Structure 1
Amino acid sequence: MGDIAIDRVPRTERGRQTLRRLLDAAASEFGERGYHEAAITGITARAGVALGSFYTYFESKEELYRALVRDMSRSVRHHIAEQLQGVSDRLTAERRGIAAYIGFVREHPNLYRIIEEAQFVAEDVYREHYDVFIAAYRDNLAAARARGEISEGPDEARAWALIGISVFAGMRYGLWSQDETPEAIADTIGDLIIYGLAPRGKDDGR
């Protein structure tokens, strides 16, 4: 599980619950105070566990932070995958995926601070977060091309561009302001993805 050593992975339900409390508390502590100001004692106090319990699972604050970044990364991917269940075409998936991501950010406002600070604390985990996203996105685009759902083009560059759109849309409409619904923003961005910026003629069917 992330950076947790194999011999410290919880094997009981109680242990898994304690670990979950520590990760959730760490998200609040790191999100509110930042990595350098966050304290292990603050995390254990938020989690409602003894200080000794922390060292049952993690050797240091950095080890917990690295595990947290990976945990949050998995949570984002899992949330989006759940929202895309039953979606059979790529263009619909693009719209719904954007809405799902913005919705996740609204529910987890600490996501950006924690993930972005990781580039200065644990750059390998920061890059891993995006690399894992890109790998799946690239494969999904390739599959959509093979089915004839999208045009031919370089899957890698497209994946980075599309994820970049979601990241900044999530920042603006999920974190900074919630003045529009995720679905409305997804429709606007989805329209851009599908049709681009080129002017549309009256008779072009769009």
Structure 2
Amino acid sequence: AAYTESELRALSNVLLKHPDVWVLTDDMYEHLIYGDFVFKTIAEVEPKLYERTLTMNGVSKAYAMTGWRIGYAAGPVALIKAMDMIQGQQTSGACTIAQWASVEALNGPQDFIAKNKAIFQARRDLVVSMLNQARGITCPSPEGAFYVYPSCAQLIGKKTKAGKVIDNDEAFCSELLEAEGVAVVFGSA
């Protein structure tokens, strides 16, 4: 679930025609990309979008700190100041230990990210391979993150062993839970 440079360029071409549209980008998985995929931001691809791009990131994924709830944003100064005002008045701050742990994660050695990425890639490859062996399931190999989005389209309209018709992806997920005890989230969710 990552955009290629050509996809970002095509999106940029549309956005340049709409100067009142802001770009909000979630770069949380920038370090968890696989193979030859090259991570780029939309502002790198089209510098004219820089002043109306808000980039979000954090330590949750690459640094395995999901429960610590530390994120950060970069963007135009006026927007960041407004966000700071809202955050300071409307939400609670992250605990001190989480803040300092995040500083150390961001400034400390980064070599473990490559090791973790290799582990995630091996898991991704195994899961995708196994899903593609399942009758009626197709699963593309994602270029980043650690989620897969298999398709059960070939099973829509088919009957279960009990004679129940699988009429959509939600029904497929319900049947998978009932019959096999496997919980998944349906794609139309």
Normalising by structure 1, we get a TM-score of 0.23
Structure label with greater radius of gyration: 2
Normalising by structure 2, we get a TM-score of 0.24
Structure with greater strand percent: 2
Structure with greater helix percent: 1
